[in-house]
Amino acid sequence: MNILILGGGGREHALVWAVKQNPKCDRLIVAPGNAGIADLAECATLDIENSAAVVGFAEANAIDFVIIGPEAPLVAGVSDELRAAGFLVFGPSRAAAALEGSKNFTKQICDAANAPTAAYAHFTQAEAAKDYIRTQGAPIVVKADGLAAGKGVIVAFDEATALNAVDEMFHGTFGSAGAEVVIEEFLDGEEASFFILCDGSDLLPIGTAQDHKRVGTGDTGPNTGGMGAYSPAPVLTDAVAKKALDEIIAPTMAEMTRRGMPYHGVLYAGLMIKDGQPKLVEYNARFGDPECQVLMMRLGAQALDLMQATAQGRLSQEQVNWAEDHALTVVMAANGYPGAYEKGTVITGLDALPKDSIQMCFHAGTTLGQGGIEANGGRVLNVTGRGDSLQEARDRAYALIDQIDWPEGFYRPDIGWKAL
Ligand code: AMP
Ligand code: GLY
């Protein structure tokens, strides 16, 4: 099978690593890829948000299966055009990706599906939004409706912060994403991510994880795309996972199908769990990054079979072969991230690292430059370990980090602290 993977982050390196282990995989092309992916697959230059360009590329390279990593091509409708051209695709349609692309849409679906989530109101005018905040009081959560690269959510612990967030959104801080605003009840509890494959009629859970959104040790400082993750998430016990499936995910999927926009792909449910009761915080229409890295580390080669079965609508025949294992990934980021950071700094020690089924350094923002591997983004490496216990997985990841020399990078020393 000739496979094309769209994307070039740590998530895609992990997907490539898993897919490549499956004997079904013949040719593997990744666009745009990165320096780590280039060790395992061909990297191609392609505008992955341009549907016509992606279809043309897939035709020219006799691609049998396309796996879409990030949200931008999904929201741009790349999967629709690929399917219309006859390609097998892993990734939801543009209409179904609105579960990630519009917070208000997701809230309406939850209402119709009777899925537990935070109470909310939706606004297109700043004054009405501010009046609502004044009546509700803090804590309260202000969200830009559209995609805002993970930065469009303000959890406000006082009224002034919430009012200010509304002003910023309507003044265009998040571009068109902020032209509509959702204001939500603050949910208290422990957050975890649940990943479910959906083929339009059947569901198959493929793992749980916990992310570390804040940049600093002890969950302090500004939000990031994620500084580390581990799987499984102890808070998502079998009982909580079953509740989430029965009360939130299955009714959402049924409502999507009822509306004529069946969901095909991986659904990422961000949940808040309190006293054993899960509530939906958000959906994403893709794998999490860095959550995908720990999921792929645990799933290995079967990930390709599962994604293919999802795309072909035969999930009912599939099951996940679980090991009683744990995986943990630590993100190494460029000094300054999530603010301004330098590009082009040189990383050494990567070639000598062991690369196997229990330890792997996935690349996110890297490129091959004159000095060797160079940092080319904010989040740069995802150093990942697997083990029989979370502690063992964690020890493996941090032991790899000790062998990496990158003076201009940093990482959180406490990934997994909540679970350990
Ligand atoms: P989102 O982009 O919707 O995932 O929001 C980003 C983060 O903001 C989430 O991962 C939560 O940590 C936090 N958050 C979002 N909505 C709420 C809420 N209603 N109550 C508490 N925290 C929230
Ligand atoms: N790590 C959070 C996300 O992928 O959205």
Ligand 1 geometric centre to CA of 186 (Å): 8
Ranges in the chain annotated CATH 3.30.470.20: 190-317
Q: Does residue 270 have its Cβ closer than 6 Å to ligand 1?
A: yes
- The answer regarding whether domain 326-410 maps to CATH 3.30.70.640 reads no
| pLDDT for the residue numbered 120 | 93
pLDDT tens digits, 174-188: 666 657 899 999 999
Closest ligand 2 atom, CA of 286?
Answer: 4
Strands (DSSP E) contained in 166-217 are 181-185, 190-199, 203-211, 214-216
What lies within 8 Å, CB to CB, of 380 at 6+ separation is 332, 333, 334, 347, 363, 364, 365, 366, 406, 409
Low-confidence residues of the chain: pLDDT under 70: 148-151, 174-178
| pLDDT for the residue numbered 7 | 98
CATH of 125-179, one of 3.30.1490.20, 3.40.50.2000, 3.40.190.10, 3.40.640.10: 3.30.1490.20
pLDDT tens digits, 45-77: 999 999 999 999 999 999 999 999 999 999 999
Ligand 2 geometric centre to CA of 339 (Å): 18
Cα distance between residue 251 and residue 16, in whole Å: 32
Which CA distances in Å does 190 have to 46, 234, 280? 40, 11, 12
| pLDDT for the residue numbered 107 | 92
Which CA distances in Å does 291 have to 36, 47, 127, 233, 248? 18, 25, 38, 11, 20
Helix residue ranges per DSSP H, 183-338:
238-243, 250-258, 291-299, 302-312
Indicate the top mutation candidate among 15, 75, 100, 291 to test ligand 2's pocket, ranked by most ligand atoms within 8 A of CB: 291
Distance from the first to the final alpha carbon of the chain: 41
Ligand 1 geometric centre to CA of 399 (Å): 32
Ranges in the chain annotated CATH 3.40.50.20: 2-92
Q: Is 349 exposed, middle or buried (0-12, 13-18, 19+ CB in 10 A)?
A: middle
Percent of the chain with pLDDT over 70: 98
CATH of 2-92, one of 3.30.1510.10, 3.90.550.10, 3.30.565.10, 3.40.50.20: 3.40.50.20
Prediction pTM value: 0.95
Q: Cis check for the bond before 232: say yes or no (omega within 30 of 0).
A: yes
Pocket of ligand 2 (CB under 6 A): 150, 211, 225-226, 284, 288-289, 291
| pLDDT for the residue numbered 149 | 63
Q: Does residue 398 have its Cβ closer than 6 Å to ligand 1?
A: no
Which ligand has an atom closest to residue 284 CA? 2
What lies within 8 Å, CB to CB, of 388 at 6+ separation is 324, 325, 326
Which ligand has an atom closest to residue 174 CA? 1
Cα distance between residue 401 and residue 359, in whole Å: 11
| pLDDT for the residue numbered 187 | 97
Name the nearest CA neighbour of 254 among 306, 319, 202, 308. Answer: 202
Which CA distances in Å does 196 have to 157, 250, 369, 391? 32, 10, 38, 26
What lies within 8 Å, CB to CB, of 267 at 6+ separation is 99, 195, 196, 197, 198, 249, 252, 253, 283, 284, 285
190-317 sits in which CATH class?
A: alpha beta
Percent of the chain with pLDDT over 90: 91
Q: Round the average pLDDT of the chain to a whole number and report it.
A: 95
DSSP-based helix, strand, coil % in the chain, nearest 5: 30, 30, 40
